[in-house]
Structure 1
Amino acid sequence: MNRYRYDRELIDMAASLSEADRFKFMDIVQNETQNPVVNFGWNIWLGFLGIDRFLVGDILAGILKLLTMGGFGLWVIIDCFLIGNRTREVNMMKIRDIYEFVRAHPA
């Protein structure tokens, strides 16, 4: 998921809520989601151990990356381009659940 689409969907969700619910929604989102830049840093620093993939919930990919030492370095380089999008995809799944929760439990 690219950054523009991610930001647009998040803004549209927040705008559809009342002010009190918007603050509640954004507070939960801020606490429950991950920063793609931080995961990129994990990939650069300990990517050969699969830490970045474990953090986004891709356990199998993390194990494979760990066992192959980052695909002998190649997978680490590829993830420099992919981990940000994967982090935003996982975040958006969480954000959609949070949105439904806040709509079902208004302030």
Structure 2
Amino acid sequence: MDAQKVDMYLMTNGKFFEGHQIPMIRERLLALDESRFAQLHAINLKDPTTILIVSIVGGGFAIDRFMLGDTGLAVAKLLTCGGLGIWTIVDWFIIMGRTREINAQKFFQLVG
């Protein structure tokens, strides 16, 4: 794929991934066919900042974990009232990284 297109994709979507993953993502994008580029825009990437806000507002009800697709953890968090509040507070610090992790998994599943 064209390097300019890859750089544009990374500028617009870089916040969805961890910083150390960007060089590997760039390599995969450069080796990707032009025809698969449209599929990249169809990936439902979650915004880490939005998930953090949801976690702060509704983390005790496990809304953040349900949004990420961590259904098992979400049910456990919901049943324990956010681990008596402790789990909710811990999630405020780790939920953005978990969101970027899930986004990277989706990306690498598509790209291969």
TM-score relative to the length of structure 2? 0.73
- The residue number in structure 2 matching 1:27 is 41
**What is the Cα-based RMSD across aligned positions, in Å?**
1.9
Secondary structure of the 2:21 match is: helix
Task: For residue 64 of structure 1, report the CA deviation from its aligned partner.
Answer: 1.3
In structure 1, C-alpha distance between the alignment counterparts of 2:42 and 2:105, rounded to whole Å: 14
Gaps of 5+ in 1: 101-107
Secondary structure of the 1:96 match is: helix
Task: For residue 3 of structure 1, report the CA deviation from its aligned partner.
Answer: 1.7
- Aligned-partner residue type, residue 24 of structure 1: A
Task: For residue 88 of structure 1, report the CA deviation from its aligned partner.
Answer: 1.5
Match of 1:5 among 20, 34, 52: 20
- The residue number in structure 2 matching 1:43 is 55
Task: For residue 22 of structure 1, report the CA deviation from its aligned partner.
Answer: 6.4
Runs of 4 or more consecutive aligned structure 1 residues displaced over 6 Å after TM superposition:
none
- The residue number in structure 2 matching 1:58 is 70
Identity of aligned residues (%): 31
Gaps of 5+ in 2: 1-16
Q: Which has the higher contact order (CA 8 A, sep 6+)?
A: 1
The answer to whether the aligner puts 1:96 opposite 2:111 as a matched pair is no
- The residue number in structure 2 matching 1:74 is 86
- Deviates further, 7-16 or 81-90: 7-16
Contact 2:40 2:107 in 1 (8 A): no
Secondary structure of the 1:5 match is: helix
- Aligned-partner residue type, residue 51 of structure 1: I
In structure 1, C-alpha distance between the alignment counterparts of 2:89 and 2:20, rounded to whole Å: 24
